[in-house]
């Protein structure tokens, strides 16, 4: 029985694909341990899913010469000792990293112990840990075509099984009833993530009456921290969040959304067309995440600063009045999506162990 160490965490964007691959490996009798931090989302989600979490210190890479940069070498040396101890004492045979604070110590420790490792990169614009790790392995799985990493192989996003296996058509009546939506009207889903996106919230609420006048209804996941009030209109359902995203995605016909890697991957895999409004800060990866499905015709992209009620009227309302165009976008989105990313990534990682893919250890 193969024993794997899966390393990553910090945000849901790292933890969710890690757990999807973990589930795929354990379904075939393999054993999984997870390396993460005590502060990241993995500290809660990994034990909840039944996996053992091995802890490594949270260690951001220094980006400027300051006191943190001076302390970094000693702190990294300690993190590497801890990680090598986990690998050696637990009999780990292979490592799979997903980026985040725990990934770099895992890659460097695996290389030191001459253990094979594989990498999965969620974003079209890769993070620092995976750019480092990809230098020393040929098993690099990516979510989006064109991701600039050496040896990149397109595997797609590893999706939660309840999403990857979702039959939206069959589940739609149940979903509409559970969410309090009318069965005879199409559904516009609006979501900016668990914390919400104020620009999306303000613009869509300001456009609420115009949306409802087209015959559509709205399911608006506004986020737990939003300060935008519920318009309180018939056919407009505002919730802070939804635990059952399988039902939300079964109910939706079109989405207005941020362009996080998981969101783009899930909507595309399920054939849901979208108007993406990429988050405007960070390293700009959200714009790149949506580029493929936009080019395929399955989505539109509106820069965050331009997503105003006037733009909504010009871009989104014509879509709502054109069901044939929405249907064509849905077909294009589905053609760009990948449902079996977890299986593809597991196969890529296993190939390191079986010798189907030679891992290069450079001096």
Cα-Cα-Cα-Cα dihedral sign, residues 172, 177, 183, 185: negative
Residue 217 within any structural domain of the chain: yes
- Regarding whether 320 and 222 lie in a shared domain, the answer is yes
Q: Is residue 119 assigned to a domain?
A: yes
Coil, strand or helix at 313: helix
Which of 55-64, 204-213, 353-362 comes out lowest in average pLDDT?
353-362
Q: Is residue 360 part of a domain?
A: no
- For residue 322, what are the domain limits? 166-336
Ranges 7-16, 42-51, 292-301: which has the least confidence: 7-16
In a domain, 361, yes or no: no
Residues 7 and 136 in one domain: yes
Quick one: 7 and 154 in the same domain?
A: yes
Whether residues 152 and 231 fall in one domain = no
Whole-number pLDDT of residue 65: 65
The CA-atom distances, in angstroms, between 97 and each of 60, 119, 174 are 16, 5, 37
How much is the pTM? 0.89
Question: Are 100 and 184 within one domain?
Answer: no
Reported as a single tens digit per residue, the pLDDT across 129-155 is 999 999 999 999 999 999 999 999 999
Q: What is the pLDDT of residues 91-128, one digit of tens each?
A: 999 999 999 889 999 999 999 999 999 999 999 999 99
Residue 285 in domain: yes
* Best CA proximity match to 330, nearest among 293, 356, 298, 287: 298
Q: How many structural domains is the chain composed of?
A: 2
Are the C-beta atoms of 68 and 47 separated by less than 8 Å?
A: no
267 and 285 belong to one structural domain: yes
Residues 123 and 194 both lie in one domain: no
Is the pLDDT at 354 greater than 50? The verdict is yes
User: What residues have CB less than 8 Å from 19, skipping those under 6 apart?
Assistant: 45, 46, 49, 51, 160
Residue 346 lies in a domain: yes
Q: What's the CATH code of the domain at 248?
A: 3.40.50.2000
């Amino acid at each position: 029985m193969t024993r794997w160490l899966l390393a990553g965490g910090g945000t849901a964007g790292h933890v969710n694909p890690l757990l999807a691959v973990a589930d795929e490996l354990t379904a075939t009798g393999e054993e999984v341990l997870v390396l993460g931090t005590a502060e990241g989302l993995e500290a809660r989600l990994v034990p909840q899913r039944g996996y053992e979490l091995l802890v490594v210190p949270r260690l951001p890479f220094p980006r400027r010469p300051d006191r943190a940069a001076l302390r970094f070498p000693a702190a990294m040396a300690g993190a590497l000792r801890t990680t090598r101890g986990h690998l050696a004492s637990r009999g780990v045979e292979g490592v799979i990293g997903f980026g985040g604070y725990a990934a770099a110590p895992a890659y460097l420790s695996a290389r030191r112990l001459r253990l094979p490792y594989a990498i999965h990169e969620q974003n079209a614009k890769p993070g620092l840990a995976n750019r480092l790790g990809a230098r020393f392995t040929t098993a690099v799985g990516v979510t989006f075509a064109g991701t600039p990493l050496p040896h990149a192989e397109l595997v797609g996003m590893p999706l939660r099984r309840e999403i990857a296996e979702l039959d939206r058509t069959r589940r739609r009546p149940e979903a509409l009833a559970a969410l309090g939506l009318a069965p005879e009207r199409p559904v516009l889903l609006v979501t900016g993530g668990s914390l919400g996106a104020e620009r999306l919230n303000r613009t869509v609420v300001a456009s609420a009456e115009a949306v409802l006048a087209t015959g559509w209804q709205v399911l608006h996941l506004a986020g737990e921290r939003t300060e935008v009030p519920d318009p309180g209109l018939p056919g407009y359902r505002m919730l802070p969040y939804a635990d059952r995203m399988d039902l939300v995605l079964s109910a939706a016909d079109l989405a207005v959304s941020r362009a996080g890697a998981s969101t783009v991957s899930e909507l595309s895999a399920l054939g849901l067309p979208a108007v993406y409004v990429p988050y405007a800060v960070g390293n700009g990866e959200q714009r790149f995440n949506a580029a493929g499905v936009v080019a395929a015709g399955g989505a539109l992209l509106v820069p965050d600063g331009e997503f105003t009620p006037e733009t909504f009227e010009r871009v989104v309302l014509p879509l709502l009045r054109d069901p044939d165009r929405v249907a064509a976008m849905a077909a294009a989105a589905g053609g760009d999506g990948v449902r079996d990313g977890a299986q593809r990534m597991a196969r890529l990682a296993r190939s390191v162990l079986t010798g189907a893919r030679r891992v290069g250890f450079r001096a």
